Amino acid sequence: MASAGPDADGERRTGPDAAAVAVLGACAAWSLITAAAQGGRPEGMLLAVLAVAAGYAAGRIGGALLPVAAPCAAALAGIGLMVTVPHLAPGPQIAGPLGHVGATTAVVTLSVGAACCAACAAATPAARLALRLLAAGVVVTAAVLGSAAGCVAGSVVLLCSLAVGRVRRRVPVLAALGTAAAGAAGLAWAMAWNAVPEGLAASLEGRLTAHRVGLWRDALGMVREHAALGVGPGRFGELSATSVQSPASDGKPHSAPLQLAAEQGVVGVALLALAFGWLLYALWRSPRATPVVLTAGTALTGLAAIASVGNALSFTAVSVGGGLLAGLATSRPFPDHPTRGTHPNKDSPVS
């Protein structure tokens, strides 16, 4: 279908950006509101919003100027981060099932996604092969560093990137990714609610650790008592009995949806869901080739799943990386840059 004209094309460019400003602004504002009403420290949430926004802006700029080199550089930066800072932060490390820490798995996932996005955008078969090998190198690096979950997550992203190479319609795949992210979040809620069958619950608790599940149940208890505004940003650690009793605890429930629900109420977790919905919308409207979009969507869905059962989003590097990959996948490369031919978004009404 032919383009609907300049007005439609302008909406295609500005619609996701306007939605991003609204969603991120609402997340920041709500953290301030709940902190004022309940007490607490909103700085962590504000820093996360700033990190995502900065990464997204950098990705949009880098993707426009260097649509292949920018994601390749991001992948190399991820490898450097894994090698030079194995745990990504000092302090207690909660092991299993996410390797040394959830952030390591998240960095592997984002790095493989960036390398695969570069491969999908490369103009020559030799460049595509080299970039796929770079993605495989990230997976091998994760295995060498002892991050089994990172190795598995990176392999899944790499295989999915190969599978979507000839996909033309985005909506079915993006819908499946949204369902997968919701399922990961639902698993944490079900475990906290004791809504998982006994045999499966015992198996999952053995993998997730009883300490983590205890944190989730504490978070659910806070939601029941403070559903509207939560207990206040940053206050989970001081109010959670499981966290207080463990000297190795970092004061977080190790689940982004449950943390926001406990500290900022149902509105907080609704804003998190809205942010992921904005991401899927931005990917749908993206002018990039469909394989690039779906590869980035797979990696970012992996990040969402990791954050649902871990503390990955507590690390600024991960928040910046997620925003960066989203920006790269939604950028509009300048026409004079040689990239692989784009595939029109057949699900979009303006293409």
Per-residue pLDDT, 27: 96
Per-residue pLDDT, 246: 76
The per-residue DSSP string of 238-277 comes to HH-HHHHH-TT--S--S-HHHHHHHHHHHHHHHHHHHHHH
Report the distance separating Cα 301 and Cα 164, nearest Å. Answer: 15
Per-residue pLDDT, 148: 87
Report the distance separating Cα 148 and Cα 193, nearest Å. Answer: 28
- For the beta carbon of residue 214, count every other beta carbon within 10 angstroms: 20
Long-range Cβ contact pairs of 32-36 (< 8 A, separation 24 or more): 33/229, 34/229, 34/230, 34/232, 34/233, 34/263, 34/264, 34/265, 34/268, 35/232, 35/233
Per-residue pLDDT, 351: 40
Per-residue pLDDT, 199: 87
Report the distance separating Cα 301 and Cα 319, nearest Å. Answer: 13
Number of residues assigned to the chain: 351
pLDDT values of the chain reduced to their tens digit, one per residue, 351 residues: 334 444 444 455 678 889 999 999 999 999 999 999 998 999 999 999 999 999 999 999 999 999 999 999 999 999 998 888 655 544 444 444 333 457 889 999 999 999 999 999 999 999 999 999 999 999 999 998 888 889 999 999 999 999 998 888 999 999 999 999 999 999 999 999 988 888 888 888 888 888 899 999 999 999 999 999 999 999 998 999 988 887 667 788 999 999 999 999 999 999 999 999 999 999 999 999 999 999 999 999 999 999 999 888 888 899 999 999 999 999 998 876 556 554 445 564 444
Per-residue pLDDT, 345: 55
Q: Where are the domains of the chain?
A: 6-330
Closest CA to 74 of 107, 103, 52, 100: 107
Is the full-model pTM beyond 0.85?
A: yes
**What is the tens place of the pLDDT at every residue in 59-75?**
999 999 999 999 999 99
Cβ pair 220, 258 in contact under 8 A: yes
**What is the tens place of the pLDDT at every residue in 8-42?**
444 556 788 899 999 999 999 999 999 999 989 99
